[in-house]
Chain A
Amino acid sequence: MIQKELCKIISQTEIATNIYELTVSAQLTREIVAPGQFVHLRVASGGDPLLRRPISICSYDRNKLQFTMIYRKEGHGTSLLTKMVAGMEIDILGPLGNGFPIEEVSSGETALLVGGGIGVPPLYELSNQLAANGVHVIHVLGFQTRAASFYEDKFLENGETYVATVDGTYGSKGFVTDIIKDIQFDCLYTCGPTSMLQAIAKQYPDEKVFLSLEERMGCGIGACFACVCKQTDDPTGVSYKKVCSDGPVFRAGEVLI
Chain B
Amino acid sequence: MSRLNIELPGLTLKNPIMPASGCFGFGKEYSQFYDLSTLGAIMIKATTVEPRFGNPTPRVAETNAGMLNAIGLQNPGLQKVMGEELPWLAQYDVPIIANVAGSVEEDYITVAKEISQAPNVHALELNISCPNVKTGGIAFGTIPEVARQLTKKVKAISAVPVYVKLSPNVTNIVEMAKAVEEGGADGLTMINTLIGMRLDIKTGKPILANRTGGLSGPAIKPVAIRMIYEVSQAVNIPIIGMGGIQTAADVLEFFYAGASAVAVGTANFVDPFVCPTIIEELPNMLETLGFEHISECQGRSWKKHEQFAYHRA
Name A's B-contacting residues (CB within 8 A): 1-2, 4, 42, 46-52, 93, 215-230, 236-238, 240, 245
Instruction: Give Cα A240–Cα B57 distance, bound, in whole angstroms.
Output: 12
How far is B189's CA from A180's CA once the two chains are assembled, in angstroms? 56
Residues from chain B with Cβ under 8 Å of A226 in the complex? 57-60, 69, 71
Task: Please give me the residue from chain A that is nearest to B24 by CB atom.
Answer: A223
- Residue B1 CB within 8 A of the other chain: no
Within 8 Å by CB of B272, from A4, A48, A227, lies A4
Interface: B15 (CB within 8 A): no
> A2-B33, A223-B23, A225-B71 known; 5 other A-B pairs, CB under 8 Å?
A47-B66, A50-B67, A50-B270, A51-B270, A218-B67
The reply to whether B59 and A225 form a contact with Cβ atoms under 8 Å apart is yes
Q: Which residues of B contact A215 (CB under 8 A)?
A: 57-58
Among candidates A52, A224, A229, residue contacting B23 with C-beta atoms closer than 8 Å: A224
Can you list 11 A-B contacts (CB < 8 A)?
A42-B270, A47-B217, A52-B269, A218-B67, A219-B29, A224-B71, A224-B269, A226-B71, A228-B53, A228-B59, A229-B57
Question: When the two chains form their complex, are residues A221 and B270 in contact, meaning their CB atoms are under 8 A apart?
Answer: no
Asked whether, in the complex, the Cβ of A218 is within 8 Å of the Cβ of B60, the reply is: yes
Most buried by A among B45, B59, B219: B59
> Please, which residues of chain B bring their CB within 8 A of the CB of A245?
29
Contact status A228-B74, CB under 8 Å? yes
Bound together, the chains give a CA A92 to CA B144 distance in angstroms of 45
The 10 closest A-B pairs by CB, nearest first: A47-B65, A219-B269, A223-B29, A226-B60, A238-B51, A223-B25, A238-B53, A216-B58, A226-B59, A222-B29
Q: Is the interface of A mostly helix, strand, loop or mixed?
A: loop
Q: Are A225 and B272 interface neighbours, CB within 8 A?
A: no
How far in angstroms is the closest Cβ of chain B from A59? Answer: 26
A93 touches B269 (CB 8 A): no
- B51 partner residues in chain A, CB cutoff 8 A: 236, 238
Contact A4 B273 (CB under 8 A): yes
Nearest residue (CB) in A for B58 is A216
A219's nearest neighbour on chain B, judged by CB, is B269
Please tell me if the beta carbons of A48 and B65 are within 8 angstroms of each other in the complex. yes
B60 touches A240 (CB 8 A): no
Q: Which chain B positions have C-beta within 8 A of A219?
A: 29, 268-269, 272
Complex alpha-carbon distance, A250 and B30, angstroms? 24
Q: Does B280 contact A (CB under 8 A)?
A: no
**Complex: how many Å from CA A218 to CA B74?**
15
Expressed in whole angstroms, the minimum distance between the Cβ of A148 and any Cβ of chain B is: 18
Q: How far is the CA of A238 from the CA of B51 in the complex (A)?
A: 7
Which residue of B61, B64, B69, B218 contacts A224 across the interface (Cβ within 8 Å)?
Answer: B69
Which residues from chain B contact A230 at a C-beta distance below 8 Å?
A: 53
Q: Give, as a whole number of angstroms, the nearest-CB distance from B161 to chain A.
A: 26
Please give, as numbers and ranges, the residues of chain A lying within 8 Å of B45 by CB-CB distance. Answer: 225
A216 CA to B77 CA in the complex, in Å?
Answer: 25
Docked complex Cα distance between A42 and B28 (Å): 23
Residue in A47, A93, A229 whose CB lies within 8 Å of B64: A47
A245 to B218, CA, bound (A): 26
CA A50 to CA B68, docked complex, whole Å:
11
Q: For B25, what are the chain A residues with a Cβ–Cβ distance below 8 Å?
A: 222-225
Do A223 and B218 have beta carbons less than 8 Å apart? no
CB of B156 to closest CB in A, whole Å: 30
Q: Binary interface profile of B, 53-89, with partner A (CB < 8 Å = 1, else 0)?
A: 1100111111011110101001001000000000000
Decide: B66 and A223 in contact? CB cutoff 8 A: no
Determine which of A46, A220, A237 lies in contact with B53 in the assembled complex, contact meaning CB atoms within 8 Å: A237
In chain B, positions 18-43 with a C-beta closer than 8 Å to chain A are 22-25, 28-30, 32-33
Residues of A within 8 A of B64 (CB): 47-48
In the complex where A2-B33, A47-B64, A47-B219 touch, is A223 in contact with B269 (Cβ < 8 A)?
A: yes
- B179 CB → nearest A CB, Å: 31
**How far apart are the CA atoms of A252 and B219 in the complex, in Å?**
40
Contact B218 A50 (CB under 8 A): yes
Task: Give CA–CA (A48, B33) in the complex, Å.
Answer: 25
Q: Does B271 contact A (CB under 8 A)?
A: yes
